[in-house]
Amino acid sequence: MVLTLVLTAAAILVACFVMTLAIQSDLFQSRLSQVLADARRGTTSAQGALDAAEVADRVETQQLLTSVRGSIVRQSSTELMAVFRVPGQPLSALAPQPFTTGLTSEQVSPALRKAVESSTGGQWWQSVSLPSSNGRQVAGIVVGQQLQLPSGAGAYELYLGYDLAGAEETLGFVQRTLWLAGLALIALIGGISWFVLRSVTTPIAEAADTSARLAAGELEVRLPVHGEDELATLGRSFNAMADSIQGQILKLADLSLVQQRFVSDVSHELRTPLTTIRLASEMINDQRDTFAPATGRAAELLHDQVERFELLLTDLLEISRYDAGSVQLEWESRSLTQLTEDVVASMEQLAEQHGSIVRVLSPGGHTPSQMDARRVRRVVRNLLGNAIEHGEGRPIIVTVDSNRQAVAIGVRDFGMGMRPEDVEHVFDRFWRADPSRKRSIGGTGLGLSIALGDARLHNGTLGVWSEPGRGTHFVLTLPRRAGVIEPESPIRLEPDESEDADVAMFGTATATAAIDVESLVELNRPGGSGPEEPKAEASGEQQ
């Protein structure tokens, strides 16, 4: 609306300005033509009277010039007059005295006088400023010609002044009319524009609001449709699209609900027979030494697979809760460093079995933060288990750090790593980079999906970096306080290449040897240029 009014006002301003100039020029030319015609007519009449007269002395010449002045006033319709003797002529006893009536010599410019003096039969004019009856100056025109007096009296300059007050009044009236019409036109165009824009923007605003509400989940909202114009056709098409989307969403929601209920019911129903099978498998496994070797091995395999099946059911139940949106966090204040050390201690034996040494570096993370300790412990346990399984017996570094907004834990192994196309699917359910590779610690294929869900429930992030030959690095970042969403992590996801060189000095064969803590601190530091003192938390606690 503002743009329309501004452009309209600019267009009308330009149009009024151009029209004013055109009218002003036309009025001036019209008045100039009239003035020149009047002046020529008066001068011609005066010259005719002078040519027909005979004078004997200066008195008669002066009387003749006075009578001619009256004739000029009647013929030229102006009383502003000035008569000067043309300079440079020989003295004559018959030459009358020059005179002025309402027009002074100062109002006749030297240039105009020179032009009149140099031309006997020419007519010359010039725009000047003339005094008016009310004392102010008005625009005017001075017209000059020569008059030839009889009996050798000589040549005289005749100047007639014409004011343009009438033309100025006409021009002022026209300008006022133009500006008033322009303002009225702006108001009229503004009203028309407002009506047209309202008729267009109101349905668009309603469509935008309805779209936003539809995107927010209010599937029942529809656009009001009035009339048969293009906007009404758009509204009907939008409503038809909304009906189709609502039908598809409801169908998918029902299908998803049935699927979730089926998984949940099946998982619950399987728990009872699974418990019986597990008890029976434990009794058989306890007696496997009394069986034949093949039967004893079968009993051991049965016991292991039953345990794995129970873990799978537990993960399936957890996944179904995530899909149903029924997961609730149990908040408590815990130190991420202490929680990580507990998990590392519980998995120390498993790491030794795989030939890996796990070291914890904790520059930060000592101050308690709000979290669901059970779920965070499960995430850390899953990440550490993956690092042990795929670490190829090399050292595993667990880093805990914090900043003002977040606490984070990074789990880095130096195993074979993954390709970029594999990293994109690492959080997919039941996905493995190498399907032919057997899980050595009994994973279900749902651990990373559940870990990602736990991180998002905390408004945190779980990122992964991996490169073939350099290993894998998982970073879990959690906000320290509620209300912060996906805070900046204090641990960088992509490690420096200097870490690979520092770890390579230990070698695969000596991976189970003791690793100097100072070297590990240097290994984890981004610069890698010398020992670094552990950082202290803002609360005053030190490592």
pLDDT, tens only, 63-109: 888 888 888 888 777 888 888 888 887 777 777 888 888 888 888 88
pLDDT at 537 over 70: no
What SS3 state is found at 278? Answer: helix
Instruction: Give me the helices (H) in 482-516, please.
Output: 497-504
Scored b (16 or more CB within 10 A) or e, 290-327 reads eeeeeebeebeebbeebeeebebbebbebbbbbbeeee
pLDDT digits 0-9 by tens, 234-283: 888 988 998 898 888 888 878 877 777 777 677 677 777 878 888 888 88
Which residue segment(s) compose the domain that 35 sits in? 2-174
Q: How many CA atoms lie within 13 A of 101 on its CB side?
A: 14
- Answer yes or no: is 336 within a domain: yes
- Answer yes or no: is 181 within a domain: no
Show the tokens assigned to 413.
Answer: 């192994």
pLDDT at 316 over 90: no
What residues have CB less than 8 Å from 276, skipping those under 6 apart?
Answer: none
Tell me, what CATH number does 462's domain have? 3.30.565.10
Of 535 and 285, more confident: 285
Q: Do 507 and 411 sit in the same domain of this protein?
A: yes
Count of domains for the chain: 3
Q: Do 62 and 115 sit in the same domain of this protein?
A: yes
**How high is the pLDDT of residue 521?**
38
Tell me, what CATH number does 133's domain have? 3.30.450.20
Handedness of CA 31, 33, 36, 38 (dihedral sign): negative
Quick one: average pLDDT of 496-506?
58
Q: Do 337 and 304 sit in the same domain of this protein?
A: no
Q: Do 384 and 517 sit in the same domain of this protein?
A: yes
Cα–Cα distance for residue pair 168/139, rounded to 1 Å: 8
- The 10 Å Cβ neighbour count of residue 411 is 27
- Answer yes or no: is 293 within a domain: yes
Q: Do 414 and 462 sit in the same domain of this protein?
A: yes
Q: Do 352 and 496 sit in the same domain of this protein?
A: yes
- Answer yes or no: is 377 within a domain: yes
- Answer yes or no: is 536 within a domain: no
Q: Do 302 and 365 sit in the same domain of this protein?
A: no
- Answer yes or no: is 269 within a domain: yes
Q: Do 351 and 474 sit in the same domain of this protein?
A: yes
- Answer yes or no: is 530 within a domain: no
520 in Cβ contact with 396 (< 8 Å): no
Question: Which domain-ending residue is among 289, 323, 357?
Answer: 323
Q: Do 311 and 337 sit in the same domain of this protein?
A: no
Q: Do 308 and 418 sit in the same domain of this protein?
A: no
Q: How many CA atoms lie within 13 A of 200 on its CB side?
A: 7
Question: Which domain-ending residue is among 323, 353, 384?
Answer: 323
Quick one: average pLDDT of 346-354?
89
- Answer yes or no: is 207 within a domain: no
Tell me, what CATH number does 319's domain have? 1.10.287.130
Q: How far does CA 351 lie from the centroid of its chain? A: 52
**How high is the pLDDT of residue 530?**
36
Q: Do 312 and 354 sit in the same domain of this protein?
A: no
**pLDDT band, residue 535 (cuts 50/70/90):** very low
Q: Do 7 and 108 sit in the same domain of this protein?
A: yes
pLDDT digits 0-9 by tens, 464-484: 999 888 899 999 999 988 777
User: What is the percent of the chain where pLDDT is above 90?
Assistant: 11
Question: Which domain-ending residue is among 323, 340, 369?
Answer: 323
Show the tokens assigned to 349.
Answer: 């034996």
Closest CA to 398 of 507, 238, 524, 496: 524
Cα–Cα distance for residue pair 136/165, rounded to 1 Å: 11
